């Protein structure tokens, strides 16, 4: 199978990280095409390859037969579901773990707006956060609850058992946020350390730190989240 995964800046793009980590972690071969954020809205430029004007997008040369064209799969959950139909390991094999993982990943995909807005992802910095809103406190508490439940029920070191699956990929951006903002995730901190140490996450971080461009809108969002106390990015 021939896949092209279109992603954006390593520092900022939490949505891109999800399928990228999943495919790397499962050993699914793909070509990595990076389309950086260059301004607050890249909608028109991204529409040339994405029907939503957003990333990530998976391009699949799925059908070599004459008359069949390349498929475009968009949205991180859509990509995960598409891959699950074609590759083992996207979801846990144990039925209980699989049901939990699918619910938890879906909850992450559709919720936690306060966390997204008040703790924007930036891999290369450390931030002293502004006082947490009630909504953010509730989001972090729920994250802690989910992670502790998964580790306790399924034995770790990943959230749904011994192997990395889609639920780890969907929460991976939160691992960076936990480190960046010093969020208290209780016993879930063991998973944060474990997932960040994964070779694919280490590759993502190295590429993030070496990115030389900055996008003003994302940098403004970062400063609105709190005081940047360390910046390990080049330039």
Two structure tokens written together for 153? 């029920």
Name the strand (E) or helix (H) holding 60: strand 57-60
pLDDT, tens digit, 9 for 90 and up, residues 10-30: 999 999 999 999 999 999 999
pLDDT, tens digit, 9 for 90 and up, residues 124-168: 999 999 999 999 999 999 999 999 999 999 999 999 999 999 999
pTM for this prediction: 0.95
pLDDT value at 210 more than 60 = yes
Kindly report which listed range (36-40, 153-157, 192-196) carries the lowest average pLDDT score. 36-40
Please report the pLDDT score of residue 38 as a whole number: 79
Check if the beta carbon of residue 124 is closer than 8 Å to that of residue 158. Answer: no
Q: Which of 59, 51, 82, 13 is nearest to 90 (CA)?
A: 82
Q: What's the CA gap between 123 and 1, in Å, rounded?
A: 31
Give how far Cα 62 sits from Cα of 4, 72, 75, 113, Å.
Answer: 11, 10, 18, 35
Q: Which residue has the higher pLDDT, 225 or 68?
A: 225
pLDDT value at 123 more than 70 = yes
């Amino acid at each position: 199978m021939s896949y092209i995964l279109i992603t954006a800046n390593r520092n900022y793009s939490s949505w891109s990280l999800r399928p990228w980590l999943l495919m790397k972690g499962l050993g699914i071969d793909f070509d990595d095409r990076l389309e950086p954020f260059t301004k607050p809205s890249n909608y028109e430029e991204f529409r040339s390859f994405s029907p939503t004007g957003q990333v990530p997008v998976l391009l699949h040369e799925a059908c070599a037969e004459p008359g069949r064209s390349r498929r475009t799969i968009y949205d991180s959950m859509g990509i995960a579901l598409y891959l699950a139909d074609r590759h083992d390991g996207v979801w846990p094999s144990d039925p209980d773990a699989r049901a939990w993982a699918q619910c938890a990943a879906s909850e992450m995909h559709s919720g936690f707006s306060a966390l997204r807005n008040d703790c924007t992802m930036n891999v290369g910095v450390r931030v002293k956060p502004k006082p947490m809103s009630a909504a953010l406190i509730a989001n972090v508490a729920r994250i802690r609850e989910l992670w502790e439940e998964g580790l306790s029920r399924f034995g770790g070191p990943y959230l749904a058992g011994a192997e990395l699956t889609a639920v780890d990929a969907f929460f991976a951006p939160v691992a960076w946020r936990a480190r960046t903002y010093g969020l208290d995730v209780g016993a879930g901190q063991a998973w944060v350390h474990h997932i960040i140490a994964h070779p694919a996450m280490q590759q993502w971080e190295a590429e993030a730190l070496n990115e030389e461009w900055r996008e003003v809108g994302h940098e403004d969002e970062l400063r609105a989240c709190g005081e940047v106390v360390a910046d390990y990015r080049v330039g």
